[in-house]
Chain A
Amino acid sequence: MLKQYSFEKTAVQSFDAQTTLALKTEDLQVFYGANHAMHDANLGFPKNQITALIGASGSGKSTYLRSLNRMNDGIATVTGKIWYHGVNINEPNVNIYEIRKHIGMVFQRPNPFSKSIRENIVYALKANGMKSKADLDERVETSLRGAALWDEVKDTLDKSALSLSGGQQQRLCIARSIAMAPDVLLLDEPCSALDPISTVKVEETLLELQKQYTIIIVTHNMQQAARVSSQCAFFHLGHVMEYTSTGTMFSNPQIPVTQDYIAGSFG
């Protein structure tokens, strides 16, 4: 039986004006019909850092993440503000297709297109009007290098992406996202379907990628959050309970529910 925790007391950090935030939400609420899945999420994501969203299943962390690039459109009702470069992108008249080019996403299960490795990366680029073969080839190489996959696939670019291993497929999905040259990369439990060795590779890739991108990662795995992130937000039953630096989160959590979760009492 899950203990009842108060949602009144939370410990959510805010950032001073010196910190550049890549993305920020203000009173973000998510409703699935009558089900209020996310309450008043006020989080800021510092540029070029990895922020981990942790919490038990059903805590709303994936729901929150999917709202950030408007992937919940047509699925859930999202109210509140999402600030990106001074624009509230949670407005009906915002071009969501343009937003998604700037805020990329990698999903829980690797979902490469059933196309060649090269075509996985260039398909969306071509759809956006990039035509020159040289440009496309260059983008294929840089993004595959960025995802630490280039050396493994450079000779088999025209083979089906589905012939890759799960870990390679997930890194291809990361490469596909960064090929669009986004600012922000959202990852929804990217390693939950991968074996430990592939997980290490993806984590190393993320640590390398934070030099260029702001990364927000949902994870079930607290060790993973501790390994890769510099900020960490704890979600519980649709509420953001605590948001602080990862070091503090794991050594000195402020709220009882966070303490219990970190100690492994539930979740």
Chain B
Amino acid sequence: MNAKQRDRVATVIIDLIVAAVVGILLFLLVYILSAGLPHVSWKFITGASDPMSGAGGIGVQLFNSFYLLVLTMLISIPISLGAGIYLAEYAKDNWRTSLIRSAIEVLSSLPSVVVGLFGFLLFVVKFKMGFSVISGAVALTFFNLPLLTRNIEESLSAVSRSQREAGLSLGLSKWKTEIGIILPVALPGIVTGVVLSAGRVFGEAAALIYTAGQSAPVTNFSDWNPMDPASPLNPMRPAETLAVHIWKINTEGMAENAAQLSAAASAILILAVLLFNLGARLLGNFLYRRVTASK
């Protein structure tokens, strides 16, 4: 076999692998959507579910998923941004830094059920935060931190050293250089990380069962005062998310049409994730264009 043939064989193999991956993905998407979408109605998307059987709509759960995501991101993005900047720019290359890095890796490999039980014992019971959106958000932050920190660190490190030198040579402080010059260039990579971790938050169930709870009390969507117990924005109320709801319908639900309900809810979940990804990318590209003046 000469170099040209070898090249061709390798290309074919790589193409096949890619095709397999895309094929599996498409199959799952088509399967979930075709099984679920016929049972989706506007009433299903916006309606409330029956607390006992799980039958009915998923309106509250859908809102809870988004709300939990936003809260989680509000907590985890600033922390991981700080940690990522520290690791990429300020940390010296010594045993302490590698200890931090290993700790982050260990954190990322914790089973979600362990994180859930930890959150339950610490936040829900010990700190008396109860089954609540905020307990769930803090627990999910534990998932997000390693992924996001690592991702932000790598995105920042990938920006050329010469950009840093340019900033410093103009008399800009290290911090100003980092925030004003390096961060904008690293933005697309960071957005990718945020999207990936958001997907995890949307799909997470095990950790949330113990922290955000399995009940979705009827909320009053005309009351937007976060202090009111019935307000959807109240972070102290229990909040069953869509993923937890799907799990519940299938395990504890007593609805007659449980299979259809969960198929429909899964289809909505998938669509929500896709929409979120798309939105985050558009926003990221828009921001990137604004700060870098590129097309």
Contacts and interface: CB of A to CB of B under 8 A. Distances in A.
A173 B294 CA distance: 18
B184 A107 contact: no
Contact of A104 (B167, B169, B173): B169
A221 interface: no
A186 B87 CA distance: 31
A176 B184 CA distance: 19
Interface string A115-138: 110010001100110000000000
Given A114-B185, A127-B180, A159 B165 contact: no
Contact of A107 (B166, B176, B295): B166
Interface string A84-127: 00000000000001111100110101011111100100011001
A158 interface: yes
B102 to A, nearest CB: 25
26 contacts: A71-B168, A99-B171, A100-B171, A101-B171, A104-B169, A105-B165, A105-B169, A107-B162, A111-B162, A111-B163, A111-B165, A111-B166, A112-B166, A114-B163, A114-B185, A114-B294, A115-B291, A115-B292, A123-B180, A123-B181, A128-B171, A160-B292, A160-B293, A160-B294, A162-B294, A176-B166
A49 interface: no
Interface string B153-188: 000000010110111111111001000110011000
A100 B168 contact: yes
Counting chain A residues whose Cβ lies within 8 A of the other chain, the interface size class is: 20 to 34
A158 B184 CA distance: 17
Contact of A159 (B180, B181, B291, B293): B293
Contacts of A37: none
B173 A97 contact: yes
Given A71-B165, A119-B293, A160-B293, A111 B171 contact: no
For A99, A127, A128, A173, the residue with the greatest tally of chain B CB atoms inside 10 Å of its CB is A127
Contacts of A180: 170-171
A172 B168 CA distance: 16
Nearest to B292: A114
Contact of B170 (A104, A114, A162): A104
A113 B294 CA distance: 11
A177 interface: yes
A69 interface: yes
A176 B294 contact: no
A69 B169 contact: yes
Nearest to B295: A160
A101 B172 CA distance: 9
A92 to B, nearest CB: 16
Contacts of A113: 163, 166-167, 181
A1 B185 CA distance: 45
A177 B170 CA distance: 7
For B171, B184, B185, B292, the residue with the greatest tally of chain A CB atoms inside 10 Å of its CB is B171
A109 to B, nearest CB: 6
A176 B169 CA distance: 10
